[in-house]
Structure 1
């Protein structure tokens, strides 16, 4: 694992537009969209989780069925953990024209501050 190079609060999984990261950075949050990093595109979920864990940041994803088992394996192995922030396309439909509700909810979540350990999983709620 590499040492954190920059302090990132939240990594957006590949299904999320970089427009969301841009809007959140404009609000002063340290957010990176996976698709903004060419070296991370098409990275397996296990590696995305390990990268987020190495950065000590949270990962926003809709991919509950894949990331929950990865988190459980990391817990069992006493490995570094990333916080998982889950959402769904039903709660926040993905659309380039309609990023406002998701950005608003993420801005509120980041402003409030992620849950403190031992909580390593949260569900994003609309504001």
Structure 2
């Protein structure tokens, strides 16, 4: 099984494109007419329906969506939570650092069975 990601809106389409060039199945919400500007619950529903893990810095909104779905016993899209300080905006080549970190996470031998709530540290 291959972990499929969807990047929340604060990640550029260039990041998703660079990860696809590394053979990962990654889409960016900002690159999709359907998802650009979608609410967090809409993006979460889409990720659940398409079997993708959401990558986001928006911990305060997506973590509760995951916890609510899990508590309700419904299918829950997994999330990869990225602390906002991990990749400060406006710092050097932020995209290259993000691509490298996501690529390393995706290449982990235990990536598929990772918990539904995982953290990029």
TM-score range, shorter chain: 0.7 to 0.9
| TM-score of the pair, normalised by structure 1 | 0.84
Q: Note the C-alpha offset of 1:44.
A: 1.2
Q: CA deviation at 1:120?
A: 0.3
Quick check: 1:70 aligned with 2:61? no
Q: Which residue is equivalent to 2:50?
A: 55
1:42-76 CA distance string (max 9 Å, x none): 11111111111111121000011111111111112
TM-score by length of 2: 0.88
- Residues 61 and 87 in structure 1, CA contact (< 8 A), matched pair in contact too: yes
8 Å CA contact retained: 1:8, 1:32: no
Work out the number of aligned pairs and report it.
118
What does 1:75-114 align with in structure 2 at a 5 Å threshold?
A: 75-95=70-90, 97-112=93-108, 114=111
Do the aligned partners of 1:8 and 1:55 also contact (CA within 8 Å) in 2?
no
- Following TM superposition, by how much is the alpha carbon of 1:82 offset from its aligned partner in structure 2, in angstroms? 0.8
The Cα of 1:88 is off from its aligned counterpart by 2.5
Could you list the structure 1 runs, at least 4 aligned residues long, displaced by more than 6 angstroms after superposition. none
Which runs of 5 or more residues in structure 2 are unaligned?
none
Aligned equivalents of 1:36, 1:8: Cα separation in 2: 19
C-alpha RMSD of matched pairs (Å): 1.9
